[in-house]
Amino acid sequence: MPSQTLLVDFPAVVKSKVLEKLDLFSILKLRKVCYNLRQFIDENPPKFNSCAVEVTTTPGECISINMKSPEIVSLVFRPDGNGCKMEWKVSYKVRKVVVEMGNYIDVFLRELEGIMKYHWRPVLKSFSIQQFEWDVRREVSEELTRIGCVHTDEVVFDGCSLDQIAAFLPFFNSDDLNKIRIEDLFKQEKEDQEDDIRMLNLQKIKQSEQWKNSKHVKIEAWDFYVKIRDFLNFEQVEIKCEMMSVQDIILIKESFLTSSRLDDFSIGLENYHDREQLYASFGFPSLPVDPETQEEEWFFRIPTNEDVLSIRDVPVE
């Protein structure tokens, strides 16, 4: 019986052709087969143009790398005694569990470095930090300190407080960061607080280069009163909040008519009923009011531009 020819024995050009046909998950598994294959793959890394790499840090000392290639592939890292337990998941189902010696962040960084060699650009698609009111983690700062400067196109803060966001933002490279997303903003209670609604104070965050250089921002702050001036440096803005003054809504119009940067501004208000002041400032809507949705829309010509500014008032249920 003739001996079998192993992949590691094929000429380099043949091995490269084989790698081109494999998805990212198969490449990662192949690296674990033997030292020679791992060395060849690392020295001749295939590129995956369609692979979006995301990193998520969640409560319970857990950090994960998520990819879509074409299925959703996740590597989850957790501390396990003196080592790291690493779970391989495909479409959220655990396919393999291994334990490696060393700090779980060090193991994560080693795997992330290998994956980014195959990525079409050395920048993550997204980095997400998830916090919960009942499990506020100090470990996140330690994780970010170990990781160092994070190169990502988007950063997502889920369940974080403003103080935490201000502390975490400097870890992200401001030259690469284009999008800031804040979801389920955690409201820190104060002893002297009397009202449930509080003005959103972004003073610390606004001073960061990350906030100044980003182009897109999306924020959910349902328990806050929001000031528009904090967001006029962005190209695209999406805000969901409790309320906003009519003066700020008018300011949006004035900023659109004069700004060469602002492109899209969307606001969802939980409590806003003062349409009479809108009529006094904008006049009556340009289009008839839709009786079913009560949606209203105004159009304004932008000076020295063929575009037209559209302002739409859509009641939030």
The ranges assigned to domains in the chain are 1-49, 50-187+196-225
Report d(CA 1, CA 13) in Å as an integer: 27
Task: Give the model's pLDDT for residue 56.
Answer: 93
**Tokens 């302002």 belong to which residue?**
311
Cα angle 176-123-45, degrees, rounded to a multiple of 5:
155
Helix (H) or strand (E) holding 180: strand 179-183
Instruction: Find out whether the peptide bond into 70 is cis, omega within 30 degrees of 0.
Output: yes
Which of helix, strand or coil describes residue 255?
helix
Looking at residue 191, its pLDDT comes to 43
Q: Within its chain, how far is the Cα of 89 from the centroid?
A: 21
pLDDT of residue 36: 85
- In the chain, the N- to C-terminal Cα span, in Å, equals 74
What's the CA gap between 28 and 33, in Å, rounded? 9
Model pTM score: 0.80
Per-residue pLDDT of the chain (317 residues; tens, 9 = 90+): 456 777 777 888 888 888 877 777 677 778 778 888 888 887 877 766 556 789 999 877 789 999 876 678 899 999 998 899 999 888 888 888 889 888 899 999 988 887 887 777 788 999 999 886 555 556 788 888 888 899 999 999 998 889 889 999 999 999 999 999 999 887 765 544 455 568 889 999 999 999 999 999 999 988 888 888 899 889 999 888 877 888 888 888 788 777 778 888 887 776 655 677 777 887 887 776 667 766 777 777 777 666 676 776 665 55
Looking at residue 251, its pLDDT comes to 85
